[in-house]
Amino acid sequence: MKINGTLINYYFHCKRQCYLCGNRLNLEDNSEDVAIGKVLHESKYTGENTEVKIDNISLDKITDRYVTEMKKSDADIEAAKMQLLYYLKVLKEKGIEREGKLIFLEKNKNQKIDIIKLDEKNLNLLKSCEEEISKLLENDIVPPIEKTKGCKKCAYYEYCYL
Ligand code: SF4
């Protein structure tokens, strides 16, 4: 499976989640949490330049300055940042340079926004991360459960715990 933004996000959140998704054990459609996330996405942005698909990435919004990624909570900021950095990297390889804007939607009254930039350090981190994901997905053994706060909201919760 070609690496995409979701796999990058999962890799930083939970290696097992990354492995299961990357090997196409797709339980996402049954997850209430994923469904809520999709509704939030659809209801927040209906203007132009939204939901842009380029190769294997799908951008929530792109303007002259920013690529915007929306998340329904700030439960795993690092994973969300790496996903957005990956989008910036894919665009840069196509000659499109942007900054990243990360918006956490659940904080409706006090919406949290992070601005991120793709620098040399992040590029190197992404490169090694992509290599590690490729190796991880080829493995015959499913990585162990990583007990995290996010487990109960994960699409694989039943698979892991029940
Ligand atoms: S339920 Fe927890 S351990 Fe299992 S894949 Fe999801 S995040 Fe990882």
Q: Give the per-residue pLDDT at 98.
A: 95
- Pick the range with the lowest mean pLDDT from 35-49, 57-71, 94-108: 35-49
For residue 155 and ligand 1, the question of a CB distance below 6 A is answered with no
For residue 16 and ligand 1, the question of a CB distance below 6 A is answered with yes
DSSP secondary structure letter of residue 155: T
Nearest CA to ligand 1 atom 5: 17
Q: Give the per-residue pLDDT at 105.
A: 81
pLDDT in tens, 13-56: 999 999 999 998 876 655 556 655 555 555 555 455 567 888 88
pLDDT in tens, 115-135: 999 999 999 999 999 999 999
Q: Which atom of ligand 1 is closest in space to residue 15's alpha carbon?
A: 8
Q: What is the dihedral of CA 74, 16, 69, 76, to 10 degrees?
A: 20
Position 60, amino acid: D
User: Distance between terminal CA atoms of the chain?
Assistant: 27
Residue 65, Cβ neighbours under 10 Å: how many?
10
Entry pTM: 0.83
Q: Tell me the CA–centroid distance for residue 157 and ligand 1, in Å.
A: 6
Q: Tell me the CA–centroid distance for residue 93 and ligand 1, in Å.
A: 32
Both tokens assigned to 56: 């294997």
Characterize the bridge pairing of strands 112-116 and 50-54: unpaired
Across residues 147-154, what is the average pLDDT? Answer: 88
Q: Tell me the CA–centroid distance for residue 112 and ligand 1, in Å.
A: 26
For residue 157 and ligand 1, the question of a CB distance below 6 A is answered with yes
Average pLDDT over the chain reads: 86
Q: Give the per-residue pLDDT at 63.
A: 92
Residue 150, Cβ neighbours under 10 Å: how many?
17
Pocket test for ligand 1, best of 7, 13, 33, 148 (most atoms within 8 A of CB): 148
* 43 against 146, higher pLDDT: 146
Look at the alpha carbons of 69, 23, 53, 43 in this order and tell me if their dihedral is positive or negative.
Answer: negative
What percent of the chain has pLDDT above 90?
Answer: 60
- Write down how long the chain is: 162
- Residue 23 CA from chain centroid, whole number: 17
Element (H, E) at 11: helix 5-13
Q: Give the per-residue pLDDT at 55.
A: 85
Across residues 130-145, what is the average pLDDT? Answer: 95
In this structure, are residues 21 and 11 in contact, taking their beta carbons and an 8 Å threshold? no
In this structure, are residues 125 and 89 in contact, taking their beta carbons and an 8 Å threshold? no
